Structure 1
Amino acid sequence: MMMNWGIMNIGMILYMVLVILILGSIIYGGLVLVMRLLKKNNSTVVIQDHEQDTSLEILKERFAKGNLTQNEFEQKYTFLKGKN
C-alpha cells in the first residue's frame, strides 16, 4: 500500500517559509529599533552643537555691534566654550 507523501512535503515547506518569515521579521524589527535609537542619539548631539554655534554667533554679533565690552565678550565666550 502506497501512501501519499505530497501533502506532507507541502506542509513542511509552508512551515519552513513561515518560520523564515517570523525570524526575518524579528531580525528586521531589531535592526530598525537599533537604528532609530542611534539616529535619535546622534541628532541630539547635532542639535546641541548647532545651538552652541548659534549662541557663539549671536555673541560675536553683539560684540561687533558694540553692545558688549571686550571683557564681557571674553567672559561669555569662555562660558559658552566651557559648555562642551
Structure 2
Amino acid sequence: MYLSKRRGEYPEMPLRVSKLLKAQKSKCTHCALYFIPTDLVEVDRIIAKLLRGKHTYDNLQLLHRHCHDTKTANDGSMESQP
C-alpha cells in the first residue's frame, strides 16, 4: 500500500502504475512480496498479446522485473518471437 498511497508525492509515477499498485494492494502477483520504492516494476499482460491478450486493466498486472522475466520465460509468450 505504501507506494500506491504515495502517488501524489511521486508525480512521475504513471497513473496506470498507480492504479495497478492500488488494485494489487502493492504486492507483486507473481511472488506475492510487497513492492518497495527501490524495486524495478514492470506492467505485464496476464495473457500475452501474442496469445491474444488484450491491453485492458483486467489483463494487466505489475510485477517485479525479475518476476516478469521468469513469467515470460515460462508462459510461452516468447516462443513466437524471432
| Structure with the largest fraction of helix | 1
State the TM-score bracket (shorter-chain normalisation).
under 0.3
| Structure with the largest fraction of strand | 2
Return the TM-score normalized by structure 2: 0.23
Greater RCO (Cα-Cα under 8 Å, separation 6 or more): 2
Return the TM-score normalized by structure 1: 0.22
Higher Rg of the two aligned structures: 1
